[in-house]
Amino acid sequence: MPLVRRSSTPLAALALATALLGCAASNRQPRPRYKPAPQLRGCGASECVEAQLELRPWADTRHRRGRLIYHCDPGSELDGREDPEVERLILVIHGHAEPSQIPAMTMAPGLGQLLAIRSAMSLAAERDPSFDPSRVAIIAPTFQRAGEWQPYTDEDPRMWAWSGSSYNTGGLSEEGRGRLGGVKAEPVSSFEILDELLRQSLVKFPQLQQIVLVGHSAGAQAVHRYALLGVGVHEHLEKQGVRLRYVVANPGLYAFPLRRRKLPPGRAQVPPGRGQGDTQHWRWSVPKACPGYDDWGHGLAGLPERGDERGRRSVDYAIEQYLRPVDRKLARRGRHNLWSHDGQQALRRALWLQYASREVWHLQAARDYASTFGDSCKATSQGRSRFERFSNFQEAWLGLLGVDASNLHFVAVEHLHDQHDARAIYTSEAGLHLLFR
């Protein structure tokens, strides 16, 4: 029989366990934390605050439990008292941090964008003495990432969190549960969050005249796709006398409007590499051996996905409000069977018409030729670089769709010190003009 040494008292075992836990704790790296807003450089207590958004029970929407953190200038909290001084709201959407970047982050992504907008606003005030920053409110939500460490969702299961960068396609947040298993955060589309921010802003700022919805990089993708998938909030704002401007700055990808892509002669795909836009002799054709290249996010195919309530509402709205007045027959066929050939044709044309009705400004750093997304054929089929994708997207809209695109604007921004930086493009001449004039 093997000899087993037993502790003479339970206290000895407890002491041993405590010592082991102490050793493990001493070897464990401290968990990173976003610093509170007042501790961050350039954002004192009088300059920005952290607030929480919850959905209100509007008559035409389904209420969902959950919360989202956003940062804003003091006094612009949406659950505070009305502010009749504000005439312009800048709603800014952050980009996508890589997993390797998250442990070193000391600033919430939304707050980083708010500070970039504040830098641009300071520059605008220096250059134009008549510009009054007190008439401008800035709101910057943070779309937390699920499945990895994120401070808000770790501390509060009621916080909404999205898988990867799915927030920029209108994806649903993941269900958040408390320690006892109860649902604390119900799945919600990131685009419903943007709807809510716009709706609540209309109540908060009764003298509002214009909203600028702006994003950089993955945030620009969110702004671009949100402009495609409306459910009537944009139109409601316009009826209330509020103009909505979309600013899409340096996105990595677009929801391409047509199935064809610009391909090199004799090639069925676009090889990765530097993309300077030297594609004058390329041809528009359907890529081969690249499954999913036109799926939603990269294109418009497959909308709405099964179970995608927001996508279905958006498509139905676009067909009824934008396609039906100009082509009743196609609209009827689309409503009858959305997944048929005619249905998909109706979907595309309806979304084209809706997007073209918006004031959308596409800004792209003119020297951003770097190859991005590696050898992903879904990305390179749009172009080898951000600049090339921008150029091809512009060519498709202005020359291939047969839709009046006079509301859509395309600006290649020169003389940037950094070709992919939010602050650089917001403080450019084009950025200042679109944000504050």
> Cα–Cα distance between 236 and 231 in angstroms, integer?
10
Residue 335 located in a structural domain: no
Residue 266 located in a structural domain: yes
Residue 249 to residues 275, 419, 424, 428, 431: CA-CA distances in angstroms? 18, 11, 11, 11, 9
Give the rounded distance of the alpha carbon of 68 from its chain centre.
14
Residue type, 84: P
| Domain with 55 in it | 39-289+358-436
Tens digits of pLDDT across the chain (437 residues): 333 333 334 444 444 444 444 444 445 555 667 888 888 877 888 889 999 999 998 867 778 899 999 999 999 999 999 999 999 999 999 998 777 777 778 889 999 999 999 999 999 999 999 999 999 999 999 999 887 666 777 778 899 999 989 999 999 999 988 888 888 999 999 999 999 999 999 999 999 999 999 999 999 999 999 999 999 999 999 999 999 999 999 999 999 999 999 999 999 899 888 888 889 999 999 999 999 999 999 999 988 876 688 899 999 999 999 999 999 999 999 998 888 999 999 999 999 999 999 999 999 999 999 988 878 999 999 999 999 999 999 999 999 999 999 999 999 999 888 889 999 999 999 999 999 99
SS (H, E, C) 352-366: HHHHHHCEEEEEEEC
> Cα–Cα distance between 432 and 97 in angstroms, integer?
25
> Cα–Cα distance between 353 and 319 in angstroms, integer?
9
> Cα–Cα distance between 349 and 72 in angstroms, integer?
37
Q: Residue 134 sits in a domain of what CATH number? A: 3.40.50.1820
> Cα–Cα distance between 258 and 232 in angstroms, integer?
24
Q: DSSP secondary-structure letter at 61? A: S
What residues form DSSP beta bridges with 360? 246, 408
Number of independent structural domains in the chain: 1
Segment (H or E) for 395: helix 386-399
Residue 303 located in a structural domain: no
Segment (H or E) for 53: strand 49-53
pTM exceeds cut of 0.85: yes
Residue 31 located in a structural domain: no
Residue 22 located in a structural domain: no
Residue 324 to residues 211, 320, 371: CA-CA distances in angstroms? 28, 5, 41
* CB-based burial label for 127 (10 Å; 0-12, 13-18, 19+): exposed
Residue 385 located in a structural domain: yes
Residue 277 located in a structural domain: yes
Q: How many CB atoms lie within 10 A of CB 437?
A: 10
Residue 208 located in a structural domain: yes
Provide the 3-class DSSP secondary structure of residue 299. strand
